[in-house]
Amino acid sequence: MKTEKLIAVVRKIAEKIESEKDFLTELDNVIGDGDHGINLARGFGEVEKKLDALADKEPAEVLKSVGMTLVSTVGGASGPLYGTGFMKMGMALKGKEEIRTADFLEAFQAAIEGIQMRGKSTKGEKTMLDAMIPAKEAIEKAWKEDADAIAAFAAGIAAAKEGVEFTKTIAATKGRASYLGDRSIGHQDPGATSFTMMLEIVGDEV
């Protein structure tokens, strides 16, 4: 994936988030403070405005710009978390003209580590990490087995969706949903859901 394609993917993610804004906000209403979709849509709206100017830059620059824009426009918890994730991907891909599956996996791992550090969180706390970590592991496993990128991303998306389902079964121990204790059980995590939407767009374009 080169810059042109990456920009197209980011644009599609922005469109997806905008169209799912109300759904994501509704999920957050139940266990959080009801702003996940609104905040992400505002951030990706700003991201879109900057994409044209990045057409001649390397992919790392695009990802860095996405991350910095999200940090400075989303607010809440998802701004620093997604922002850190995209910035870390950018740092991991520095100097590369094209993102190949192996590069993506490395960048994805860097993003996960950045989000874990920023959010002081790990898998099993009903957060976006519950979709991200299984997705990354599934892509890596499928890729190592037969090096088919399309199949690998399909496995990753399936794992992310399972991760979203898994978040319904556990109580949150991080974020505002943790205040609800066991009352958060039965509801899917909005962050895991929005991440899965993003990964599905990436998968479509591989």
Partner 1 sequence: MKKFINAVDQVEDQMIQGMIKAYPQYLRKLDCGNVVVRSSKKENKVALISGGGSGHEPAHGGYVGKGMLDAAVAGAVFTSPTPDQVYEGIKAVATDKGVLMVIKNYTGDVMNFEMAGEMAEADGITVKQVIVNDDVAVKDSLYTVGRRGVAGTVFVHKIAGALAETGADLDAVAAVAQKVIDNVRTMGAAIRPCTVPAAGKPGFELDESEMEVGIGIHGEPGTHREEIKTADEIADMLLSQILADIDYTGSEVAVMINGAGATPLMELFILNNRVADVLAEKGIKVYKTFVGEYMTSIEMEGFSISLLKLDDELKELLDAEADTPAFKA
Q: Which of residues 162-181 bind partner 1 (CB under 8 A)?
A: 171, 173-176, 178-181
Supply the minimum distance, in Å, between the C-beta of residue 191 and partner 1.
11
- Decide if residue 12 touches partner 1 (CB under 8 A): no
> DSSP assignment of 70-121, as one string?
HHHHT-TTHHHHHHHHHHHHHHHTTT-SS--HHHHHHHHHHHHHHHHHHHT-
Q: Look at the block and give the residue holding tokens 């405005």.
A: 49
- Decide if residue 186 touches partner 1 (CB under 8 A): no
Geometric angle at alpha carbon 112, from 42 and 48, rounded to 5°: 25
How far is C-alpha 32 from the geometric centre of its chain's CA atoms? Answer: 18
Supply the minimum distance, in Å, between the C-beta of residue 187 and partner 1.
11
- Decide if residue 34 touches partner 1 (CB under 8 A): yes
* 151: exposed, middle or buried (Cβ count in 10 Å: 0-12, 13-18, 19+): middle
Among 57-65, 69-77, 105-113, 138-146, which window interacts with partner 1 (CB under 8 A)?
A: 69-77
Question: Pick from 33, 61, 113, 137: which binds partner 1 (CB under 8 A)?
Answer: 33
Which residue, 33 or 113, is less far from partner 1 as judged by CB? 33
Query: Alpha-carbon torsion 170, 174, 178, 184, what sign?
Result: negative
> DSSP assignment of 180-202, as one string?
GGGGGTTS--HHHHHHHHHHHHH
Which residue, 145 or 179, is less far from partner 1 as judged by CB? 179
Question: Pick from 16, 75, 91, 151: which binds partner 1 (CB under 8 A)?
Answer: 75
Contacting residues toward partner 1, per CB under 8 A: 25, 29, 32-35, 38-39, 42, 71-81, 118-119, 171, 173-176, 178-181, 183
